[in-house]
Amino acid sequence: MDLTAGFRIYTKIDRAAPEVVELFSDLAVSDVDDIMHKIAGAHSAIKPMNKCKLLGTAVTVKAPMGDNLMFHQAISMAKEGDVIVVDGNGCTERAICGENMMQIARQKGIRGFLIDGTIRDSKAADDLTDFAVFARGAMANASFKGLGPGEINVPVSIGGMVVFPGDIILGDRDGVIAIRPKDAPAVAEKAAKLRDTQAANLELILKGQSDRSWVMKALLEKGCAFIDKKWDEE
């Protein structure tokens, strides 16, 4: 019988290769989400706490509400280029990290934190220029440490988005998304093409040359009625 469930640490991760992660460096979350059928992003409650772009490989943490013991251990285990992804059950009553943890992680070359919960020292987070932080917001009350339990490097849920250890995490001002390593090359290629198409379309819009005929075509194809009177007119 396995008595470790709920309090265990898996030490091995199949991380996405650095060259695969780099494919997303110039891509926007919105374009990647479009390629992933517009259902892959985390809930909008998970917000950027500074202006830094988030990109790296996931080290996942399942933490009980109000305790960050496993979060601390994940920082110790993580490697340069990783992102610490913390499923804090969406708890907004206690901050699960603050400036000290951010700086310890930053000095290790960790790329940022993605937290389904809250942080504190939010001004310090906002001042960072090379370390991204995504969370539900800020809260003054601190977490307890040294209590446990929790798990590291298991699948977690962040704002309704499932994240597996080793996933590519991409975050910007529009939100955050996780990409499975095996899907990443194809997703990145298609997202880059979409980005270029969108840029060309925007150029036409700015020149006043956009084609809007598709709107009427879609309405007619779907059987929309056009009635030449006011809504309350008999």
Task: Give the residue-averaged pLDDT of 35-56.
Answer: 98
pTM of the model: 0.94
Residue 54, φ and ψ in degrees, nearest 5:
-105, 125
Summarised one tens digit per residue, pLDDT across range 117-169 is 999 999 999 999 999 999 999 999 999 877 889 999 999 999 999 999 999 99
Nearest to 4 by CA among 62, 59, 51, 73: 62
pLDDT band at 2 (very low <50, low <70, confident <90, very high): low
CA distance 183 to 162: 15
User: Could you tell me the residue ranges of all domains in the chain?
Assistant: 7-193
User: Contact at 8 Å (CB) between 166 and 181?
Assistant: yes
More confident residue, 4 or 33: 33
d(Cα 52, Cα 129) in Å, to the nearest integer? Answer: 6
Q: What's the CATH architecture for 7-193?
A: 3-Layer(bba) Sandwich (3.50)
Mean pLDDT over the full length of the chain: 96
**pLDDT single digits (tens) 87-128:** 999 999 999 999 999 999 999 999 999 999 999 999 999 999
- 169-218 residue pLDDT tens: 999 999 999 999 999 999 999 999 999 999 999 999 999 999 999 999 99
